[in-house]
Structure 1
Amino acid sequence: MKSLRARLAADPAIGAGNVLATVIAHGADLNGPGLTFDTAVDDYPAEHPLTLGELDDRVQARTSWLRDQGIGRRDVVAIWATDAADIVLSFLALTRVGAIPALLNGKMAPAIAEEYIRRLRVTGVLADAAHRELLQEAPILGEPKELGTGDPAKAPAQYRHHQDDPIVITHTSGTTGVPKAVLHTHKTLYAALKHLLTMPQSQGTDRILNALPIPHTATILMVNQVLGNRAEMLLLSSQDASVVLAQIERWKPHGVYGFAVTWAGLAREDLAAHEMDSVRMWFNTGDCAHEPHIRKLVAVGTRETVGRGGRTTIRGSHFVDGLGSSEMGHNGFHITHTIDSDHYGRCIGKPYQFAEATVLDANGEELPVGKVGLLGFRSPTVSPGYWNDSVNTYKFRLNGWFLTGDLVYRDDTGHFFHLDRVPDAVAGFDGPQLYTSMSEERILAALPEVQDCTVIIVAEDGRFVTDVMLELAADADPTADRDAQVREAVGEEVAATIRNISVVAEDEVPVTVTGKVRKVALRQDRLSGVPS
């Protein structure tokens, strides 16, 4: 008899909107793992490991509540909350009735959230108590926790999704203002997972600490992945490094999933002083991670190797890096680092087997090895577009490729290297080649006392000028002259444009709701000169 994973991979009806019901229909043990949340779920206390049956019962209660409110096929319902349980359970219930959940990050500014919700043209909003008070005009259905009062015995049957049905709307980081609303379908958000079901499971995927932003596409992927793999997962409502570190020591995960901002925070800590041996693997998505942060993480934890003497456990963990976005639907690239790795320099690895990637010029023509250009991506995981926004949907398509907004090149081995985001660089196909992300990578690699840094480039008086902001370790001298070291690290072309090198505190750098630096805001602030 085929394994459960094989049966799921072969099921033509499975998709991102019905994984929970399909896993149960294929005979998964109801006493096996469901999900674990860091807050209470109805009558279950925080961190109670819900069994598959208990999870299904709590989702069915919410499905019943939604049906009683008249919510059903194609209704768009926004969810604005902080607790992981509120967001994930609401998502599972809304997709069960055929509705389209739209997930909002709890840190979004109220005015932006109100405008974002207006643009979605929602049927209603589920908002927790704190966020409900911040909305002035949105049609409130209730608080997510209210849904748990429904009667699971009266829940309707699982909605039958077509593969092209929309099943969730998530949003981009909003680095330039109101985020774009990214649509995913039953098929696109499960295509990568269906492929992975046919592959051997990696070390660290049996017990996962989810430190990804909960309303992000990546968390929906992880929920469906662990349900299909019959794995354990604790979902954290906060991605702060202190919270993640405490849960690593207490819950002892084998894998930790997160964004680059969490790894930067963990790298600030003396990890050797903490109990980290349980961690086999770190998995990064979103922006690729910086080498110094990766090196600190792979130095702790343990991993298994197989040699002539059999299976042994050795010091040091794996770090799986890559590049992903809400629009890409899953990490498009992957590369694995260990203590012995030397393939850095913002290498994002090779595309997954289910994806294709290339480097394009402005006309959509493919560029040769070594030439920097626009990253073009093609995959069954790619979002079909932005909700209610055909202008941006087609703006980011070129010659049959999705444009990710990144500048990259590839080498003769097929590995891709990430240089910058298009809006942050000065990098036409002729003229100066000034990259902020690559400059940050080089500074961090060259100056060990710099824990993080931000580089921005602005056009001023007909020339380009570069500002460098350094975040130092607690024991580093903030008055030391690092000018020569920074200029040498970034290279001659960027060094010639440097206007200012300053030391800043972590909270002086503006970030988006997912922790990405808002370089557009910094550029606007500095157009009139260096801030006092």
Structure 2
Amino acid sequence: MNLTSRLSESAQKYPAKPAYIFQDKASTYAELDSAVNAFASGLDKLGIGKGDHIALLLGNSPYFVISLYGALKVGATIIPINPIYTADEISYIVNNGDVKAIITFDVLLPQVEPMLPIMKGVEHIIYCETPQGKDAGIDSSAIVTLEKMKSFSKIISLGSFNYEGPTLAEDDVAVILYTSGTTGKPKGAMLTHKNLYSNAIDVAQYLKLSDTDRVITTLPMFHVFCLTVALNAPLMNGGTLIILPKFSPEEVFRVAKTYEATVFAGVPTMYNFLLQHPDGNKEDLASLRLCISGGASMPVALLKGFEQKFNVIVSEGYGLSEASPVTAFNPLDRPRKPGSIGTSIFNIENKVVDEMGEEVPPGQVGELIVRGPNVMKGYYKMPEETAHTIMDGWLYTGDLARMDEEGYFYIVDRKKDMVLVGGYNVYPREVEEVLYNHPDIIEAAVIGVPDPNFGEAVKSFVVTTNNQLTEKEVLDYCIEHLAKYKTPTSIEFIEELPKNTTGKILRRALKQQATTSL
């Protein structure tokens, strides 16, 4: 069994049920499955088959869902790429990933076309027609006069609705996800059909996703959090995706009420925007049975504030690209613990180890490692990096964590983000939790900066609602709640914290800003 065969099963079981709703138009499981088969067949006729690599340069849309499942059905390997990446970033991934075809929106063709001379292996550009492209007067034939250009609708029209595709082995690579990385070039995590299918099924079972669920899919589909939790997992059990092209608090509130959404998945910054929105109220999200948070640690103050305002439980979980991605979630049948990423989900083991790889006692901090059918095959064309990351079947996450006596895990911080002040370990999240509890602070991030006396010092960036708030007031507040060595030595007020497209705070950008200002 794999994602595409399971989708076909869902289509047979729920043919007339909406598989997704996009821009207030519903498409059924039967329609989605037929489109997937036709697209896969069209790719086959184009000469794209098993083992070929296809890049998806797409945002949230039915095009992404059909392209993903259609390419997987023909046996190709998908490489999702953030559409707002620069030309250098896109061309690196395309070349490093040995991409044969790119699927993109017509409105992005003016950006893609100049890159073609340096993307030597690309044989086909498949463009998806959009209202935005039409409004902008995009003429694909005028942009590229090569035979490389094919329209998405043309590919589907050439295909067969009854296409069955080649036999897929569970160890075949289904998706290569390029991780952003902290240094050097991105690494391509190879996820197999077994990795993705097992994680989607285990997540669906753990979160009790069923055919009655309607999931707001606003996280970026090219990101693994959305890919598994808000796209694949609901489709495995006949759920309905409510697809939003981008995150907007107003649209989340609107579609939640209009379609009686039952599940929302987001990153902490999304929850912060929803909480801070002046027009948001409890009735807007009254139909939700569950909110899911991941991608970054959620400050406890934010979690409690959101739950109190909207009267809905937020289940925080944990994952990483190399694990397809989910390894832990707060359970639905036991107490949820604020600040915890929960317990290991079905079929997956998490444990905390010291630098020698030995498991540490409950309560002690160490590195979180993971084992299960979800763990990647390795990094594409990087055997040494793979060997350093997967040892004895365990994936070393690089995250510092602790486990309590009941098996609940807590992410302390990234190993690389820990600040060493005069020999003492300072975990940025601990300081950030204190800052988030300040009534006038809505966002905070902590980094380490060079210090001539202690090696490193703690610096904090904060976003506030009070223009009169001073650095001294914030520092005094920290002194009251933190040990001296954990207290920031400086506070910098900024209008907005830098974030990537998934809403994760970019500490690297803050470190660069701090370095520049020294």
Give me the TM-score of the superposition, normalised by structure 1.
Answer: 0.83
Distance in 1 (alpha carbons) for counterparts of 2:202 and 2:355: 32
Does structure 2 retain, via aligned residues, the 8 Å contact 1:173–1:516? no
Among candidates 460, 463, 482, match of residue 468 of structure 1 = 460
Question: Equivalent of 1:108, from 63, 66, 85?
Answer: 85
Tell me which residue corresponds to 1:403: 396
Deviations 1:342-373 (A, max 9, x none): 833x3222211311111112221222222211
Q: Is 1:431 paired with 2:419?
A: no
Distance (whole Å) between structure 1 residues aligned to residue 252 and residue 399 of structure 2: 29
Greater mean alpha carbon deviation, residues 401-410 or residues 509-518: 509-518
Deviation at 1:167, TM superposition (A): 1.1
Secondary structure in 1 matching 2:153: helix
**Equivalenced residues, count:** 484
Looking at structure 1, the residues matched to 353 and 477 of structure 2 have their Cα atoms a distance apart, in angstroms, of 34
The alpha-carbon distance between structure 1 residues 465 and 81, as it changes in their structure 2 partners (threshold 3 A), is: same
Q: Mean alpha-carbon deviation: is it higher for 71-80 or for 407-416?
A: 407-416
Instruction: Report matched runs for 1:331-346 at 5 Å.
Output: 331-335=326-330, 343-344=337-338, 346=339
Match of 1:143 in 2: 127
Work out whether 1:186 is the aligned partner of 2:163.
no
Q: 1:272 to 1:95 in 2, by over 3 A?
A: same
Residue 281 (structure 1) aligns with:
290
Question: What does residue 527 of structure 1 align with?
Answer: 515
Cα offsets for 1:371-392 (capped at 9, x unmatched): 2111111121111222222232
1:225 equivalent in alignment to 2:202: no
Q: Deviations over 1:483-529 (max 9, x none)?
A: 2102333433211xx331122111xx322232222212322332354
Question: What's the offset of the Cα at 1:17?
Answer: 4.2
User: In structure 2, the residue corresponding to 1:501 is in which secondary structure?
Assistant: strand
1:166 and 2:173 correspond: yes
1:320: how far off? 1.0
* Structure 2 letter corresponding to 1:320: S
Paired position in structure 1 for 2:148: none
Residue 308 of structure 1: aligned partner: none
> 1:238 offset after TM fit, Å?
0.9
Structure 1 residue 262: deviation in Å?
1.3
Q: Which residue of structure 2 aligns with residue 15 of structure 1?
A: 2
Contact 1:203/1:280, CA 8 A, preserved across alignment: no
Taking structure 1 as reference, are residues 466 and 426 closer, same or farther at Cα in structure 2, changes over 3 Å only?
closer
1:418 to 411, 424, 440: 411
Aligned equivalents of 2:413, 2:170: Cα separation in 1: 34
| Residue aligning to 2:441 | 450
Using the alignment, how far apart are the partners of 2:350 and 2:363 within structure 1?
15
Q: Is the 8 A contact 2:42 2:160 kept in 1?
A: no
Bigger helix fraction: 2
Residues 443 and 233 (structure 1), Cα distance of their counterparts in 2 relative to 1, 3 Å cut: same
Alpha-carbon separation, structure 1, partners of 2:207 and 2:407: 23
When normalised by structure 2's length, the TM-score is 0.86
User: How far apart, in 2, do the equivalents of 1:205 and 1:320 lie?
Assistant: 19
Task: Find the aligned partners of 2:292 and 2:457 in 1 and give their Cα distance.
Answer: 35
What are the within-5 Å matches in structure 2 for residues 189-208 of structure 1? 189-195=196-202, 201=208, 206-208=213-215
Q: CA deviation at 1:34?
A: 1.7
Q: Would you say the 8 A contact 1:375–1:406 is kept in 2?
A: yes
**Residue 166 of structure 1 contacts residue 185 of structure 1 at CA under 8 Å; is this kept in 2?**
yes
Residues 245 and 180 (structure 1), Cα distance of their counterparts in 2 relative to 1, 3 Å cut: farther
* Equivalent residue number for residue 493 of structure 2: 503
CA 1:487–1:16 in 2, change beyond 3 Å: closer, same or farther? farther
CA contact (8 A) 2:37 2:164 kept: no
**1:460-494 deviation per Cα after TM superposition (whole angstroms, max 9, x unaligned):** 43620221111113x56344722210233343321
Residue 13 (structure 2) aligns with: 28
CA distance in structure 2 between the partners assigned to 1:323 and 1:342 by the alignment: 14
Q: Does the 8 Å CA contact 1:455/1:467 hold for their aligned counterparts?
A: yes
SS at match of 1:189: helix
Aligned to 2:323: 328
8 A contact 1:193–1:225 mirrored in 2: yes
The answer to whether residue 468 in structure 2 is matched with residue 483 in structure 1 is no
Deviation of 1:199 after TM superposition, in Å, equals 6.6
| Counterpart-to-counterpart distance in 1, 2:199 and 2:40 | 27
2:174 and 2:282 map into 1 onto residues whose CA distance is 44
- Taking structure 1 as reference, are residues 223 and 407 closer, same or farther at Cα in structure 2, changes over 3 Å only? same
Contact 2:412-2:427 at 8 Å conserved across structures = yes
Letter in 2 for 1:128: F
Alignment pair present for 1:440 and 2:432: yes
Name the residue aligned to 1:11.
Answer: none
Shifted more, 518-527 versus 85-94: the winner is: 518-527
Work out the CA distance in 2 between the residues paired with 1:188 and 1:461.
47
Tell me whether 126-135 or 367-376 shows the greater mean CA deviation.
Answer: 126-135
- Please tell me whether the aligned partners of residues 10 and 29 of structure 2 are also in contact (alpha carbons under 8 angstroms): no
Deviations 1:10-37 (A, max 9, x none): xxxx12343222434xx31321232222
Q: Percent identity?
A: 23
On the 8 A contact 2:75/2:168 being kept in 1, the answer is yes
